[in-house]
Amino acid sequence: MNETILEQHISKIPSVIINATAPLGNQKAWAIFIALLERDEGLRFNQIRELFEAEPPEVSRALKVLTNAGLVSRQARSLDDVGNAEASFYVPTTLGKTLIAALYRGLLPSREGAGPTRAHCQESPFSAGRITASAPGEE
């Protein structure tokens, strides 16, 4: 491919979209992202490691990619826990919740209709009740 032409087209996509979707090419990151979407309270690093029976470097790499993309954030429950890696936990961000909801709405056919020609699309199982897609900037 011609790199100049490639760059011309890629430059039309906001970097936030490219950065947010890049980690989803990694199955480990996808799995951790979904596990976090399923839990309102978030998960600590060791809980994620135990859930997936994974080595710390594997979990660390996936969380770093998800965090850098803005899909997941690391938080503390209290001011005393700030800076304490063992007390922090990971939760999906508004961007992460919005992205998964948009993917479900845009890519999956409706459960209500028969056939792919229906205009309504399936809602994300993560938006029913606990996790809802908010407008960007709302957290």
pLDDT (tens digit per residue) in 114-124 = 455 444 455 66
Give the model's confidence band at 22: pLDDT under 50 very low, under 70 low, under 90 confident, else very high: confident
What is the pLDDT at residue 20?
84
Provide the 3-class DSSP secondary structure of residue 102: helix
Amino acid at 101: A
Candidate CATH numbers 2.40.50.140, 1.10.10.10, 3.20.190.10, 3.40.630.10; the one for domain 13-107:
1.10.10.10
**Placement of tokens 């994974």 in the chain:** 54
What is the pLDDT at residue 67?
94
Q: At what angle do helices 94-107 and 27-37 cross, to 10 degrees?
A: 100
How far is it between the farthest Cα atoms of the chain?
A: 54
pLDDT score of 96 more than 60: yes
* Alpha carbon distance 95, 49 (integer Å): 24
Give the whole-number percent of the chain exceeding pLDDT 90: 39
136-139's contacts with Cβ under 8 Å and 24+ in sequence apart are 136/94, 136/95, 136/98, 137/94, 138/94, 139/93, 139/94
* pLDDT: which is higher, 138 or 88: 88
Among the listed residues 86, 41, 93, the one whose alpha carbon sits nearest the alpha carbon of residue 68: 93
Give the model's confidence band at 111: pLDDT under 50 very low, under 70 low, under 90 confident, else very high: low
* Alpha carbon distance 138, 122 (integer Å): 23
pTM to 2 decimal places = 0.71
What is the pLDDT at residue 2?
85
Q: At what angle do helices 56-69 and 45-52 cross, to 10 degrees?
A: 120
Q: DSSP letter at 138?
A: -
CB atoms within 10 A of CB 21: 14
Q: Where are the beta strands (DSSP E) in the chain?
A: 72-75, 89-92
